[in-house]
Structure 1
Amino acid sequence: MKFYKYQGTGNDFVVIDDRDETFPVSQKLIADLCHRRFGVGADGLMLLQNAEGYDFRMVYFNSDGTEGSMCGNGGRCLVRFAHDLGIIGDSTVFIATDGEHEAKVSPEVVSLKMIDVNNIEKTESYDFMNTGSPHYVEYVDDLENLDVYAKGKAVRYGEPFVSKGGTNVNFVEVVGDNKLNVRTYERGVEDETYACGTGVTACALSANSRLGFDKFVDIKVVGGNLRIEFNRTENGYDNIYLIGPAVKVFEGNI
């Protein structure tokens, strides 16, 4: 089987051209392929499939082999993959588990339009919202020395989230006007990842809601830099774009 490896700010993925829909989906196979010691190694696996009325369908699996919710950096990488295959030009409309997405491609970045967000659950200590995947956002003072794995796991498997299927957990440090540093514990990977696209999207919208950061937020993650652009509406947010690099690493056969 031929596979491709792509990464976006260190979020890495095994990518399969499955337009003939012959990939033998199984949780064990996907987990084995994503294993960093015994497989290719990745945060997740994506299938590119045909979809009537769209340029392609994105099917995303977590590294533990379970089918996942929307992955923003994965979406950007799959758009780059479709562009590399010649399926699309400099723009596309595709379908994913959370609905329709638009994207634009340049040599430097892929800009992915995220779903509208109309509800932020605000508490004294954190914000919670769904940006295609569920995200908890907490502000901290010393992000560099934070035990993201231990704190993230406690939130992910704690109430009220564990009874709702768990959540991704983001820790945010404000470093300037419209600038954040973010680290994320991802469910399905069950560890800290180098980046999380839906996560930084949630952090940017939280920063607008709490701090007044407007129009865009520049975010540094472990694997690089991302930008979120958005429009505030009476009911929430629309025209949300996740912008950053998406790069082919290698291809091979397994």
Structure 2
Amino acid sequence: MVDFFKVHGNGNDFVVLDNREGRLSGADLRSAAVALCRRRASIGADGLMAVERTEGADFRMRIFNADGSEAEMCGNGARALARYAYERGIASSPMRFITESGLIEATVEPPFVELDMGRVDLAGGIFGRSLRAGGVEFPFVFLTVGVPHCVLLSDEEYSENAMREIGRTVRYDAELFPEGANVTFARRLPSGDVAAVTYERGVEDLTDSCGTGCVAVAVAGVLVWSLCAPIRVVNPGGTNTVRLEFASDNASARAWLRGRTALVASGTLFEEAWS
């Protein structure tokens, strides 16, 4: 039997395991993600996160998608894990933790958590290009914000089925995105905010929110649509606010991501949950 927590950041939900004693190997965590993230048959989640010991930071964050693949980073996941670590006394605020994409600093003010995402490389991004998917021509922006993101810019609103079909097509476009990509549909709102829905690599479906996707959307909103930061990015599961500071040569931008988190449940996993 293993103890677990269930957390979410704006509807992006995760199972959390405390692995600071190192009882679970990477292979164990991958198989646990596949088993535990199944909705209806198990707890159900977009992914699984583990807290592990590390040097030079309060803890190490590992995150596994529902298909068992290990992700470099997840903005909403990192916010939710920071809230978990704060409430469990693992770390105080502000805290610093290691992810596969680097060091993250989080400030926790329950229920809100703000992440200092560090610098986003803009020089290595793709701007000013279009792609065709689902019979539609989309201007797009490609950026790596911990994980690769393709932001499709449109003032049209698409159905969930259309976004799944288009998102799946673009996510597997190996010519443009050799490592695959999260695909976010971004649409300007009359309020000046941006509506965004993400088809997530690894989850292989639409999710209620994507934190790193919100950062990519905010950068695209400033550079393509001339919006002014901070930018409120409205996801189906809630709203994240992104602050940006651009370098003088626009080769990079420092980003901060803020939004709600929630501790949903804690309990014990039985052997049947893993089978």
The C-alpha deviation readout for 1:169-218, integer Å capped at 9, x for no partner, is 00010014641000000010000000111111100001111122223100
Change (3 A) 1:184 1:109: same
| Residue 9 (structure 1) aligns with | 10
Gaps of 5+ in 2: 131-138, 270-275
Q: Distance in 1 between matches of 2:36 and 2:198?
A: 23
Give the whole-Å Cα distance in 1 for the aligned partners of 2:175 and 2:85.
39
In the TM superposition, residue 40 of structure 1 has moved relative to its aligned partner by 1.0
2:83 is matched with which residue: 77, 80, 96?
80
Structure 2 distance, partners of 1:41, 1:216, is 33
Deviation of 1:232 after TM superposition, in Å, equals 1.2
Provide the residue aligned with 2:200 in structure 1: 186
TM alignment of 1:11-30, pairs within 5 A: 11-26=12-27, 27-30=30-33
Shift of 1:7: 0.4
Aligned amino acid, residue 210 of structure 1: V
Deviation at 1:86?
0.8
Report the TM-score when normalising by structure 1. Answer: 0.95
Which has more strand, going by share of residues? 2
Tell me what 2:221 maps to.
207
Aligned length: 253
Name the counterpart of 2:173: 158
1:246 aligns with 2:237: no
**Aligned equivalent of 2:126, options 121, 125, 128:** 121
Q: TM-score, normalised by structure 2?
A: 0.88
Which one of the candidate residues 26, 35, 38 is aligned to 2:41? 38
Are the equivalent residues in 2 in contact too, given 1:118–1:235 (CA < 8 A)?
A: no
Contact 1:230-1:237 at 8 Å conserved across structures: no
**Alpha-carbon deviations, 1:117-136, whole Å to 9, x = none?**
12231114211010101000
Q: Which amino acid aligns with 2:205?
A: D
The alignment-based identity, stated in percent, is 36
Q: Which amino acid aligns with 2:4?
A: F
CA RMSD of aligned residues (A): 1.5
Counterpart of 1:89 in structure 2 is: 92
Residue 7 of structure 1 contacts residue 77 of structure 1 at CA under 8 Å; is this kept in 2? yes
In structure 1, stretches of 5+ residues that fail to align are none
Structure 1 consecutive aligned stretches of length 4 or more whose deviation exceeds 4 Å: none
